[in-house]
Amino acid sequence: MTLLATADTEPAPAPASGDVILSVRDLRTQFFTRDGTVRAVDGLSYDLERGETLCIVGESGCGKSVSALSVMRLIPEDAGRIVGGSVTFEGTELTDMPEHEMRRIRGNRISMIFQEPMTSLNPVFTVGEQIAESLRIHQGLGGHAAAERAVEMLSLVKIADPRRRAGEYPHQLSGGMRQRVMIAIALACNPKVLIADEPTTALDVTIQAQILNLMLELKERLGTAIVLITHDLGVVAETAQRVIVMYAGRKVEEASVEELFRHPLHPYTRGLMGSIPRRSATGRRSGVRGRLQEIPGIVPSLREEIPGCAFAPRCSFAGERCSREKPPLEPHRPAHLAACWEVARVAATPR
Amino acid sequence: MTAYIIRRLLATIPVMIVVALFVFLLLHLTPGDPAAVIAGDDASPAEIDGIRSKLGLDRPIWEQFVIYVLSLLRGDLGTSIFSNLPVTTLVMQRLEPSVVLALSTLVVAVLFAIPMGVLAAWKARSAIDRIVMGFSVLGFALPVFLVGYLLIYIFAIELRWLPVQGYRPLSQGVWETARSIILPAFALGMVYMALIARITRASMLEVLSEDYIRTAHAKGVAKKSVLLKHALKNAAVPIVTVIGIGLALLISGVVITETVFNIPGLGRLTVDAILKRDYPIIQGLIILFAGAKVLINLMIDISYSFFDPRIRY
């Protein structure tokens, strides 16, 4: 995709300085239902650099999972499809790649792990076999070599007694262990990009930290770039280098993690931050922020074209212009993009 | 596993005793004096008395049952009233065609129905799906004898590819047997195919929407392998169950098929025995069919743990 094509939609994401491995431009994915077309992803762009961790944050239904499935070309054919935009991986366009070539990329160069470790593993095959299968497909390993490598992968993801566990079935493992197995499958072929769609949401809080730490540690070791999709700003703060905030299928804000937490510019980002429990400097909840702030209203239906800012109906800053015109995504601070007409007022308002 | 099989085999004993009791009572529950029933309408009182003492019907009923069960355990199914031959001998003479027919039907049905069901599920709501489901409705709706005569008309009378009727035993060569059994197997297998195809489709559809299928795609597994390895093994338990149930239901179809195609098998033996009221044969066949059914069920139950590791005994 050329710069020209993106010029009239939105500027290139801020820190495109480094070595970009995955580039998404003006991605549009729609689902075709009986009640009309759902614009699940509506013009999303981002760049992922080699070895970085990029977080995509947003509420349920904002299109973050669909954007990940679109990159992998895993949108169920009978439900929806990518209707526009481009996804390039190491300079190769993925959206129009023949299926058999795309298969060589999935699970090999770009891997994905999912939210549901309890149901994402096949119940009738041993976990060792499920790891070995990737190695046989992509690396051409023989049965025995693949099985041996699968055991190594299990010990890499810190599963105790890996040789015994390799011969076990998913139902014999706990949720945390299953997610470790999913990570082992995803990383078996040493991919350049790992897309993790809410990998810790279904797990106990204590296990969540373990899984996140494991992912970050392996990322460092293997040099994998991670796209981490989450609704949990706590996870973002701990893992990300750069953050994209999505709302109603579009990117509304993008910045480095420090910048975003220090100077959130979009009212929606502020709303998300208000909805997580915080502690004051003394370790106790401060009086003013004693209550959690919820964002009023619900995520808009993506069936109708929204003329103005999709967040306007829920936004306390919204003016008359907001519901009429779509705010462009523009840099308002160095390396900090936001799509909001009222950025100046938002920035001036104390949190 | 071995312990489970032994336990299950032992559990079949009470089932078979109940079957034996039912079969034994069959004669006594028939309205009227069993001896008179056996002797027929025109028998004299002396003849009826003769039959009664010959069959031991003048002894107390529990004693008769014990004698009956003991003879069953010795493998003695009784003696035909009309031909005076042991029932086991009659059964052995007729066993081969029926077993060959049942197994051929099983193979034909499974070989055609599972690919049809998988294809229909994969291409759900497409033209292929509608054709398969249409065929399935037809398979349920058309009676065996109609399909049988249709197949005879097309392939035997018009095209002359296959024999019209009759059965060639295996001793005359496998090829000849296959030629004589293929039309009956298809006629009998029609309903069976419809049933298996339908369940395969339903079971596959359910599995294909599971998260682990998405995982398989995300791993870069080829479509064919996703369907036949990842999905089909998960969908297998319901499919194997209907294959088993269907096999048991085939027994009634065998009777009609053997009549249409003039195959000298157990089905024909059953019909002839019922028409002639040859009670010992009927009783022997019921015991045999019940035993076969119990055995098939056992095999299905054991096969579950092969397909799904979560099922352990």
Cα–Cα distance measured from residue A282 to residue B178, given in angstroms and rounded to the nearest whole number: 88
**Average pLDDT, integer, range B7-29:** 87
Q: CB-CB: which of B214, B308, B309 is closest to A74?
A: B214
Strand order in the sheet with A80-89: A36-49, A20-33, A80-89, A92-93
Question: CA nearest B254: which of B300, B174, B191, B194?
Answer: B191
- What would the two tokens of residue A303 be? 């069936």
pLDDT confidence of residue A290: 61
Domain assignment present for B242: yes
Q: How many domains does chain B have?
A: 1
* Cα separation of the two ends of chain A: 39
CATH code of B209's domain: 1.10.3720.10
Is residue B67 situated within a structural domain? Answer: no
Of A119, A126, A185, Cβ closest to residue B211: A119
Q: Is B199 helix (H, G, I), strand (E, B) or coil?
A: helix
Q: Which residues of A touch B124 (CB under 8 A)?
A: 78
- Whether B234 and chain A come into contact, CB under 8 Å, resolves to yes
Residue numbers in B near A120 (CB within 8 A): 211-212, 214-215
The arrangement of strands across the sheet holding A330-333 comes to A110-113, A193-197, A225-230, A53-57, A242-247, A250-256, A336-338, A330-333
Listed in sequence order, the residues at least 6 apart from B158 whose beta carbon sits closer than 8 Å to its beta carbon are: none
More confident residue, A165 or B247: A165
How much is the average pLDDT of B85-102? 90
Domain region containing B243: 87-307
CB A52 within 8 A of CB A86: no
Cα separation, B293 vs A123, in Å, equals 30
Tens digit of each residue's pLDDT (9 = 90 or more) over A8-55: 444 444 444 568 999 999 999 999 988 888 889 988 999 999 989 999
Mean pLDDT in residue range B121-144: 90
Burial of A261 (0-12, 13-18, 19+ CB in 10 A): middle
Given pLDDT bands bounded at 50, 70 and 90, which one contains residue A278?
low
The per-residue pLDDT for range B262-290, each reduced to its tens digit, is: 889 998 898 888 888 888 898 899 999 88
> ipTM of the predicted structure?
0.85
Percent of chain A at pLDDT > 70 equals 90
Q: If you measure CA to CA, which chain A residue comes closest to B230?
A: A122
CA-based nearest residue in chain B for residue A121: B212
Q: What is the mean pLDDT of residues B227-255?
A: 88
Separation of alpha carbons A106 and B223, rounded Å: 13
Helix or strand (DSSP H, E) at B130: helix B127-141
DSSP letter at B86 equals B
- What type of residue sits at position B182? I
Q: Is residue B101 part of a domain?
A: yes
Contact check, Cβ <8 Å, A103/B309: no
Angle in degrees, 0-180, between the axes of helices B266-276 and B232-260, rounded to the nearest 10: 50
Q: Say if B279 falls within a structural domain.
A: yes
**In angstroms, what CA-CA distances link B287 with B23, B86, B290?**
7, 15, 5
Please say if the pLDDT value at position A140 is more than 60.
yes
Does the structure show a pLDDT above 80 at A319? yes
Is B122 part of any domain?
Answer: yes
Per-residue pLDDT at B113 exceeds 80: yes
Note whether A313 and A271 are within 8 A (CB).
no
Quote the crossing angle between the two packed helices B144-151 and B174-208, to the nearest 10°.
130
- Distance from the B280 Cα atom to the nearest Cα atom in chain A, whole angstroms: 48
pLDDT above 90: residue B231: yes
| Set of chain A residues whose Cβ sits within 8 Å of the Cβ of B210 | 119
pLDDT score of A13:
47
Quick check: is B117 in a domain?
yes
Q: How confident is the model at residue A154 (pLDDT cuts 50, 70, 90)?
A: very high
- C-beta neighbour count of B310 within 10 angstroms: 12
Q: By CB neighbour count within 10 A (0-12 exposed, 13-18 middle, 19+ buried), where does B26 fall?
A: middle
| Partner residue facing B220 (CB), from A107, A125, A182 | A107
Q: How far apart are CA B297 and CA A268, in angstroms?
A: 61
* C-alpha distance from B210 to closest chain A C-alpha (Å): 7
Cα torsion A317, A319, A321, A324: sign: positive
- CA dihedral over A66, A67, A68, A71, signed as positive or negative: positive
Answer yes or no: is B251 within a domain. Answer: yes
- For A167-224, the pLDDT digits (tens) are 999 999 988 899 999 999 999 999 999 999 988 888 888 888 888 888 888 888 888 9
Whether the predicted pLDDT of B55 surpasses 80: no
The pTM for the full model equals: 0.81
Give the whole-angstrom CA distance, residue B61 versus residue B19. Answer: 17
Is B307 in the A-facing interface, judged by CB distances under 8 Å?
yes
pLDDT, mean over chain B: 87
Q: Could you tell me if B205 lies within 8 Å of chain A, comparing CB atoms?
A: no
Residue B123 falls within a domain, yes or no? Answer: yes
